[in-house]
Structure 1
Amino acid sequence: MRKQIPNILTLLNLFSGCIAIVMAFQGNFKAVVIGVAIAALFDFLDGMAARRLNAYSPLGKELDSLADVVSFGTAPAAAVFILLRDYALLPGYLESLHIWIPYLAFLIPVFSAYRLAKFNVDERQTTSFIGLPTPANGLFWISYCSGMTEIATQNENSFYLTAGLIVLMSLLMVSEIPMFSLKIKKLAFKGNERQVILLILMVLLVVLLGISGMAWGIVAYVILSVSVPRR
């Protein structure tokens, strides 16, 4: 039973993601944020449990990726689908495609699945990441959607911005850009500088901007990964 604890936590991650999908199609974006945030918590806890209990297994590794595709790929994509369908104003030359344009959102789980499969076979990503991690991308999108629906800007710029970000963030997931791990292995600032700076920035941004501040925090994560050299 002890060996199954990490898998149970992973399945709770998946369950939370499924609820978030339902909430997205009901247009309840705050509930989507809560569902995906809970999924992220379980995603963190299953890895910690596996390390503490020495309960690593090939099954757990594959199960983790399957859960992440749902919670951080499909659930955010469902929110983006509703955003494009109900909140973004399409430019005139695309109006005839208004039924199909929202399906751009499902590039997110497609690239998420590729990213997760790549991670599973890439031996370079043991202590850091290459490309944007799928959970970070998922958190970006749920906070972005929540912020955009609160603004409810019915203009063409919101469409261009959202479509452009779908492409950019998807490519970042499968890119060769090195990105630091968010795990803090010891309680010391030295060696964890970027993690601490990011945590402080994330808290400040959420306090100042609300849920949408989380999206800016993910942007800060990408910038810190690119601009601050690894030690």
Structure 2
Amino acid sequence: MRKQIPNIVTLLNLFSGCVAIVMAFQGNFKAVVLWVAAAALFDFLDGLAARLLKSYSPIGKELDSLADVVSFGVAPAAAVFILLRDYSLIPGYLEPLHPLLPYLAFLIPVFGAYRLAKFNIDERQTTSFLGLPIPSNGLFWISYCYGMTGVAAGNEYIFYLTAGLIILMSLLMISEIPMFSLKIKELAFKGNEKQILLVVLMILFVAFLGIAGAAWGIVAYILLSISTYHKDVK
């Protein structure tokens, strides 16, 4: 039974993602944020439990990817779908395509699934990442949708921004751009400077901008990863 604890936690991640999808289609973006945040917590705890109990298993690895593609791929995509379908002002010349345009959102789980499959067979990503991790992408989108529901209906440029970000963020997930891991290995500042700076920035963004500030935190994560990588290379 002890060996199944990490798998049970992973399944709680999956359950949270399923509830988040339902909340998205009900237009309850605050609940989407809460349930995806719960999924992210379980995603962290399953790995922690596996390390503490020394109960790594092939089935655990597969379950983790399946849960992640639902919680951080399909659930955020459902929120983006509703944002585009029900809340966004579509430019006039694109109005005939209005019923089809929201389906752009499902590029998010498509690229997310490919990113996870790539990660699972890539031995280079043991201590850091190549490409944007799918949980970070998912957290970006749920906070983005929460922040945009009040303004998307009054500005058609929000549609262009959303469509462009869907493509950009999807490509970032499967890119070869190095991204640092958020795990803090030791309780010391040295060696964890980027992680600590990101935590501080995330707290400040959320404190001043609310839930929508989390999206800016993910942007900061991407920019920090790119800028510090170039410094390391030099």
Runs (4 or more) in structure 1 with deviation over 4 Å come to none
Partner of 1:209: 209
Partner of 2:41: 41
Match of 2:76, as an amino acid?
A: P
**Residues matched between the structures, number:** 231
Partner of 1:223: 223
1:93, distance to aligned residue in structure 2 (A): 1.5
Match of 1:181, as an amino acid?
A: S
Query: In angstroms, what is the RMSD of aligned CA positions?
Result: 1.0
Gap change, CA 1:161 and 1:152, over 3 Å in 2: closer
Pairs within 5 Å for 1:84-163: 84-163=84-163
TM-score (norm 2): 0.97
Q: Deviations over 1:145-183 (max 9, x none)?
A: 000013344221010000000000000000000000000
Q: Deviations over 1:50-97 (max 9, x none)?
A: 111111101000000000000000000000000000111111221001
Any conservation in 1 of the 2:10–2:42 contact (CA below 8 Å)?
A: yes
Any conservation in 1 of the 2:80–2:141 contact (CA below 8 Å)?
A: yes
Aligned sequence identity (%): 78
1:230, distance to aligned residue in structure 2 (A): 4.5
Distance 2:232 2:122 in 1: 19
Q: Deviations over 1:78-131 (max 9, x none)?
A: 000000001111112210011010000000000000000000000000000000
Any conservation in 2 of the 1:87–1:154 contact (CA below 8 Å)?
A: no
Pairs within 5 Å for 1:165-176: 165-176=165-176
Contiguous gaps of at least 5 residues in structure 2:
none
Contiguous gaps of at least 5 residues in structure 1:
none
TM-score (norm 1): 0.98
Any conservation in 1 of the 2:10–2:64 contact (CA below 8 Å)?
A: yes
SS at the partner of 2:27? coil
Gap change, CA 1:152 and 1:89, over 3 Å in 2: closer
Between 1:61-70 and 1:148-157, the stretch displaced more is 148-157
